[in-house]
Amino acid sequence: MLEKGRGIMKKENTKKQFLIEALKLFAEFGYDSVSISQIAERVGCSAPALYKHYSGKQALFDAIIELSELSYEERMKSIHKSFWNNEKSDYFLTENGQIEFVTKLFESALSEEYPRLFRNFIISEKSKNPELSKIYNERYIFSQYGFFEEIIKELIARDILNDENSEIMAIEYASPVALWIEACDREPERKEEFLKMIENHIHHFFRVYRKKLLKKKEV
């Protein structure tokens, strides 16, 4: 029974390795330019061995999308939990706390292999593939804005930020961070520079939108 379990685990690891190597090649050369033989060679097996797991390149593509969806859902659940169900939640709703939290999100986005590879792949292919373009919009634009709008609304409710259009504020807050993640994918040697930009951006955002408390007049 134990040996059977190990065999299943080994098979799943092999299948995931096919997806990872396929993603690397798709991101580097483009989906249309990569063959099954190239993917098999990168993994270190024959094309017939790969076909035992996937019927072709489209099946690989579908599996990549499915795994990326599961990975994304798990990551977003983890992010929500780490923010809202954390003993540091109140601290995260401060200016310095936001710098720490957004920095962690930035570093996590860069360090987790599969999400990073999929992000690079989707950015390179979204102009040619309507399905990928839709995923990009939903996952890397609207979903991110939605998450940060929750934070903005809470900061407004706590009288920390001015009560303005939370949707526009979230777009203004999150957009530069998303751009810097993509930029750091291409230029990882500039990571510290981008982290400093994030810190300066959050300081600026709070300066612009921080609620000004009226001083009571002395009687």
Distances in Å between the Cα of 199 and the Cα atoms of 49, 102, 118, 177, 195 are 49, 9, 26, 10, 6
Name the residue among 191, 59, 185, 35 with its Cα closest to residue 122: 185
Q: Note whether residue 218 is domain-resident.
A: no
Q: Note whether residue 83 is domain-resident.
A: yes
Q: Note whether residue 214 is domain-resident.
A: no
Distances in Å between the Cα of 161 and the Cα atoms of 8, 147, 158, 197, 206 are 52, 17, 8, 21, 7
In this structure, what are the phi and psi dihedrals at residue 161, rounded to the nearest 5 degrees? -115, 155
Q: Note whether residue 133 is domain-resident.
A: yes
Q: Are 18 and 50 in contact (CB under 8 A)?
A: yes
Q: Note whether residue 219 is domain-resident.
A: no
Return all residues near 91 (Cβ < 8 A) that are at least 6 apart. Answer: 97, 100
Structural domain count, the chain:
1
For residues 148-183, one letter each, b for 16 or more C-beta atoms within 10 angstroms of the residue's C-beta and e for the rest, the string is: bbebbbbbbeeebbeeeebeebbbbbbebbeebbee
Q: Note whether residue 43 is domain-resident.
A: yes
The interaxial angle of helices 2-29 and 36-43, nearest 10 deg, is 120
Domain range for residue 178?
2-209
Mean pLDDT of the chain: 86
85 pLDDT exceeds 80? no
Beta strands in the chain (DSSP E): none
Confidence class for position 12, pLDDT limits 50, 70, 90: low
Q: Note whether residue 21 is domain-resident.
A: yes
Q: What is the pLDDT of residues 45-82, one digit of tens each?
A: 888 988 888 998 999 999 999 888 888 888 888 888 88
Confidence class for position 5, pLDDT limits 50, 70, 90: very low
32 pLDDT exceeds 60? yes
209 pLDDT exceeds 80? yes
Return all residues near 150 (Cβ < 8 A) that are at least 6 apart. Answer: none
Q: Are 123 and 140 in contact (CB under 8 A)?
A: no
Return all residues near 215 (Cβ < 8 A) that are at least 6 apart. Answer: none
Residue 150, domain CATH? 1.10.357.10
Q: Note whether residue 167 is domain-resident.
A: yes
